[in-house]
Amino acid sequence: MTIISKDISKAVTILNAEALVAIPTETVYGLAGNIFSEKAIKSIFETKKRPFFNPLIVHIPSVELLPTIVSYVPKKAQQLADALWPGPLTLVLPKQSIIPDIITAGKETVAVRIPNHQMALDLLNQLDFPLAAPSANPFGSISPTTAQHVNDYFKNDIQMVLDGGSCQRGIESTIIGFEGDEPIIYRLGSTPIETIESIVGSIQIKNKKEITPDAPGMLERHYAPKTKTILVDNLSEAIEKNRDKRIGVLAINKLSDHQAIAFQIVLSKSTDTQEAASKLYDALHQLDKQDLDIIIAERFPDFGLGKSINDRLQRATVNVKSI
Ligand code: AMP
Ligand code: MG
């Protein structure tokens, strides 16, 4: 049985014993283990059924610890860390030799961030080691944004979910790597590109479709419900075209009144993209439970967090058979 609890000291005991705890962060829940315990890290990969080519993000509680994880910090990386940590920004930098290969999938770089969630920070401050904490979902499925989502995926597989409420940001961190000293976006996420560009100037997105991409969050199909999902600009046209099916709708800001709709969710009545991002995965979890033939999702205006939401919705639409 999985315990769902707010008891940080219990989480400390379990993590010190090389077992796993699902932890809250401001982005999504993470499946956390000691980065220096081979046993814990192996069980993260096994529990998630995550391929070993997919490296893990290291979570630390303060920027002073960064030099213990990475061996070199370009000026623009330091500027981003100073401006945005704790927060939903992951930096990929050259690793220190003590970082195990299993964490980095054999790469010479390591991904690191400071989560902006008080419970996660309190926990990290009580441990003698950083935590690897990939999203607490089976590989490729929708990320969890509540303790209940984690429990639905992993009941009995993990000892504890540390319950820190619903995740306020709701989509994963933005991942930034470096080519030379120049930053590049590897994965769109909860920190909008515009925020990053206001700190380090214009930045390129490396969004190629690869089998072992630089950041597997870039895999073509990821974050996906089981129900067939399409992403459209014109909702009513798409509803009309699919009228013979049992339709679920994920709308930006208003309900539709078409008879063919069996279930619908509006992400933000006021078109607030932060509100929409925080509700996105819970909405997909709910839609996926309704026994629908199709989920029709409405595309957001392509800027700010809207761009990150569209990225996730796009990856949710890729049919398994087509890749
Ligand atoms: P998640 O499983 O949601 O925590 O996602 C972790 C993301 O961080 C994945 O997309 C990883 O590929 C990415 N990542 C971790 N380490 C590295 C690295 N060394 N280089 C590039 N991406 C990384
Ligand atoms: Mg993930």
252/246 Cα distance (integer angstroms): 20
The conformation of residue 166, written as its DSSP 8-state character, comes to: S
Does residue 157 share a domain with residue 78? yes
C-alpha distance from residue 18 to each of 4, 46, 128, 320 (Å): 19, 14, 12, 35
Strands 57-59 and 204-205 come out as unpaired
111 ligand 1 Cβ < 6 A: yes
Q: Give yes or no: residues 47 and 151 share one domain.
A: yes
For ligand 1, the distance from its centroid to the CA atom of residue 111, given in whole angstroms, is: 6
Q: Tell me, what amino acid is at 259?
A: Q
| Claim to verify: residue 201 and residue 276 sit in the same structural domain | no
Residue 220 belongs to some domain of the structure: no
Domain membership flag for residue 29: yes
Specify the DSSP element, H or E, that contains 47. Answer: helix 38-48
Looking up residue 122, the CATH number of its domain turns out to be 3.90.870.10
Report the mean per-residue pLDDT for the chain.
94
Per-residue pLDDT tens for 287-310? 999 999 999 999 999 999 999 999
Last residue of some domain: 140, 172, 205? 205
Examine residue 155 and state whether it is found in any structural domain, yes or no: yes
Q: pLDDT value at position 1? A: 82
Q: Give the CATH number, domain containing residue 267.
A: 3.40.50.11030
Spans of the chain, pLDDT less than 70: 207-221, 319-323
Q: Are residues 259 and 180 in the same domain?
A: no
What three-state secondary structure class fits 150?
helix
Ligand 1 atom 1: the closest Cα is on which residue? Answer: 134
What DSSP string describes 98-141? TS-HHHHTT-SEEEEE----HHHHHHHHT-SS-EE--BSSSTTB
Is 218 among the domain residues? no
Instruction: Specify whether the CB–CB gap between 68 and 9 falls below 8 A.
Output: no
Residues 167 and 248 both lie in one domain: no
What is the reported pTM? 0.94
Give the residue whose CA is nearest to atom 2 of ligand 1.
134
Q: Is 281 in the pocket of ligand 1 (CB under 6 A)?
A: no
Strand order in the sheet with 247-251: 229-232, 294-298, 247-251, 261-266
Same domain, 34 and 114: yes
Q: Does any domain span residue 244?
A: yes
Quote the number of domains for the chain: 2
What is the domain range of residue 67? 3-205
The answer as to whether 217 is a domain residue is: no
163 in ligand 1 pocket by Cβ < 6 Å? no
- The C-alpha atoms of residue 69 and residue 85 are separated, in whole angstroms, by 16
Q: What share of the chain in percent tops pLDDT 70?
A: 94
Q: How far is the CA of 129 from the centre of ligand 1 (A)?
A: 19
The residue whose CA is least distant from atom 12 of ligand 1 is 215
**Residue 77 buriedness (CB in 10 A; 0-12 / 13-18 / 19+):** buried
Q: How far away, in angstroms, is 260 Cα from ligand 1 center?
A: 40
Say how many Å lie between the CA of residue 34 and the centre of ligand 1: 17
pLDDT in tens, 222-235: 778 999 999 999 99
